[in-house]
């Protein structure tokens, strides 16, 4: 079979030479495309600005979604600033966004789950190998061969890089598209696609339940969802924050106790008492101060992904056979389970709705921990 680079891709004016080379090196089928409006970063320091990209015309198994809302995850900011360059270097132009809710405007002939007009959602991944042990177990986020991330991933169909939800449309294989109940506010539901599943999944995996004492570290996008889920699962929940002005909100969101983590004597009161701690902090901080709070066989799971590695004291783990773990988003089946759970319980994210044009200011506020508790972009502002 002869592969060619689609003209549509060659026409993208602002595509940098590096991306063009990457594109040219990949096997790319001739695919029809259409233009979509978006916001992109051109470099780690450029900020985000208007950008035009090409989406593939839907194949039989694809749905085309008109994006209504897209949440702003701290991962978007890490990626735009190329803070994860040692693990997943950023390809520019970068169109972030993986908390996507929209309306189906086209469903391919083989699509079974969706029809035109349905509300649908897309999270952090748009494809995976579907054959490895992780994919077969429904844990596609841990695909051993090729996971296609929603943005800054390798686009196996068009070639080049994938573009995310800071855009007015997206085309995705229905196997990676989620159903959203009409009962959920679509803007408040958008952050469930990353902040929601990333906290739901580890709380379920480590079987958080009534009778347990659970800590959530950091009251941001992930943290406030973790707090809601840990409460919904029946645990006694303590929220750790560096921001004393978030105390009243933490209580309103369900915290049984709030600890200002900079206050050592407050921290000491909880030493050796936690069954489980979920750490959702985006920046450098002392993990040992939290390991100290776990009881015998307690687990602390990291979901926060700061730029720099953190030192861990072996003794903090040895002394009470404690465990330090990590967790990444969640599989498609579990994401749907989480969305259905939220629909049943009326759980959504607490959001600040912004226009696309306010995104650079929103990033500045996110860096200061100043968001209540997730920015969501109203994509109507792109039109």
Helix (H, G, I), strand (E, B) or coil at 5: coil
Among 329, 351, 359, 379, which residue interacts with ligand NAP (rule: CB under 6 A)?
A: 329
The span from the CA of 64 to the CA of 114, in Å, is 10
- Work out whether 220 is an interface residue with ligand NAP (CB under 6 A): yes
CA distance from start to end of the chain: 39
Among 47, 108, 254, 328, which residue interacts with ligand NAP (rule: CB under 6 A)?
A: 328
For strands 119-122 and 178-179, give the pairing.
antiparallel
Nearer to ligand NAP, 28 or 72 (CB): 72
Q: How far is the CB of 153 from ligand NAP (least distance, A)?
A: 14
- Work out whether 305 is an interface residue with Zn ion (CB under 5 A): no
- And the tokens for 63? 């749905």
Which residues within the stretch 179-208 sit at the binding site for Zn ion (CB under 5 A)?
194
Q: How far is the CB of 313 from Zn ion (least distance, A)?
A: 29
Q: Which H or E run includes 225?
A: helix 221-232
Q: Which residues contact 105 (CB under 8 A, 6 or more apart)?
A: 64, 65, 66, 116, 169
- Work out whether 228 is an interface residue with ligand NAP (CB under 6 A): no
- Which partner, Zn ion, ligand NAP, none, binds residue 280 by CB below 5 to 8 Å per kind? ligand NAP
Please report how many Cα atoms fall inside a 13 Å half-sphere around the Cα of residue 294, on the Cβ side: 28
Q: Select from 6-14, 182-190, 193-201, 251-259 the region that touches ligand NAP (CB under 6 A).
A: 193-201
Among 64, 128, 167, 282, which residue interacts with Zn ion (rule: CB under 5 A)?
A: 128
Q: How far is the CB of 315 from ligand NAP (least distance, A)?
A: 23
The span from the CA of 12 to the CA of 289, in Å, is 49
Which residues within the stretch 278-297 sit at the binding site for ligand NAP (CB under 6 A)?
280-285
Nearer to ligand NAP, 107 or 277 (CB): 277
- Work out whether 305 is an interface residue with ligand NAP (CB under 6 A): yes
Q: How far is the CB of 225 from ligand NAP (least distance, A)?
A: 8
Tell me if the bond preceding 373 is cis, omega within 30° of 0. Answer: yes
Among 58, 102, 165, 218, which residue interacts with ligand NAP (rule: CB under 6 A)?
A: 218
DSSP code string of 290-343: HHTTEEEEEEEEE----SS-----HHHHHTTT-EEEE--S--HHHHHHHHHHHH
Phi, psi dihedrals of residue 193, rounded to the nearest 5°: -70, -20
- Work out whether 75 is an interface residue with Zn ion (CB under 5 A): yes
- Work out whether 194 is an interface residue with ligand NAP (CB under 6 A): yes
The span from the CA of 288 to the CA of 314, in Å, is 9
Per-residue CA distances from 40 to 14, 117, 289 (Å):
10, 28, 38
The span from the CA of 154 to the CA of 102, in Å, is 23
Q: Which residue is nearest to ligand NAP (CB)?
A: 220
- Which partner, ligand NAP, Zn ion, none, binds residue 135 by CB below 5 to 8 Å per kind? Zn ion
Q: Select from 113-121, 144-152, 301-309, 354-362 the region that touches Zn ion (CB under 5 A).
A: 144-152
- Work out whether 247 is an interface residue with ligand NAP (CB under 6 A): no
Per DSSP, helices labelled H in 44-118 are 74-80
- Which partner, ligand NAP, Zn ion, none, binds residue 329 by CB below 5 to 8 Å per kind? ligand NAP
Helix (H, G, I), strand (E, B) or coil at 35: strand
Among 93, 96, 186, 221, which residue interacts with ligand NAP (rule: CB under 6 A)?
A: 221
Q: Which residues would be at the binding site for Zn ion (CB under 5 A)?
A: 73, 75, 128-129, 132, 135, 143, 145, 194
Q: Which residues would be at the binding site for ligand NAP (CB under 6 A)?
A: 73-75, 78, 194-195, 198, 218-223, 241-243, 246, 280-285, 303-306, 327-329, 366, 369, 371
């Amino acid at each position: 079979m002869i592969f060619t680079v689609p003209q549509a891709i060659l026409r993208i004016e602002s595509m940098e030479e590096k991306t063009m080379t990457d594109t040219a090196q990949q096997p790319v089928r001739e695919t029809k495309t259409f233009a979509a409006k978006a916001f992109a970063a051109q470099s780690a320091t450029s900020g985000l600005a208007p950008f035009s990209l090409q989406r593939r015309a839907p194949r039989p198994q694809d749905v085309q979604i008109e994006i209504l809302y897209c949440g702003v995850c701290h991962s978007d900011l890490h990626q735009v600033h190329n803070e994860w360059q040692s693990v997943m270097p950023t390809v520019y132009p970068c169109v972030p966004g993986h908390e996507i809710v929209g309306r189906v405007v086209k469903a391919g002939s083989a699509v079974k789950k969706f029809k035109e007009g349905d509300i649908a959602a897309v999270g952090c991944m748009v494809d995976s190998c579907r054959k490895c042990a992780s994919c077969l177990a429904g844990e596609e986020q841990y695909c051993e061969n090729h996971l296609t991330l929603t943005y800054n991933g390798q686009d196996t169909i068009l070639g080049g890089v994938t573009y995310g939800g800071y855009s007015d449309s997206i085309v995705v294989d229905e196997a990676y598209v989620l159903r959203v109940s009409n009962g959920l506010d679509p803007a408040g539901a958008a952050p469930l696609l990353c902040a929601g599943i990333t906290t739901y999944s580890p709380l379920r995996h480590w079987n958080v339940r009534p009778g347990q004492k659970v800590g959530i570290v950091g009251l941001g996008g992930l943290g406030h969802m973790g707090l809601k889920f840990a409460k919904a699962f029946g645990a006694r929940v303590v929220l750790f924050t560096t921001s004393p002005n978030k105390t009243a909100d933490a209580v309103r969101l369900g915290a049984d106790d709030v600890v200002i983590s900079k206050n050592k004597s407050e921290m000491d009161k909880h030493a050796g008492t936690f069954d489980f701690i979920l750490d959702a902090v985006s920046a450098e901080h002392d993990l040992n101060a939290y390991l100290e709070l776990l009881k015998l066989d307690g687990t602390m799971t990291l979901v926060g992904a700061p730029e720099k590695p953190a030192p861990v004291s072996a003794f903090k783990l040895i002394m009470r056979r404690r465990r330090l773990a990590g967790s990444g988003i969640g599989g498609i089946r579990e994401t749907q389970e989480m969305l259905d759970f939220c629909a049943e319980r009326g759980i959504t994210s607490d959001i600040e709705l912004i226009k696309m044009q306010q995104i650079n200011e929103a990033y500045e506020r996110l860096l200061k921990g100043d968001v209540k508790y997730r920015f969501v972009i109203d994509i109507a502002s792109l039109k």
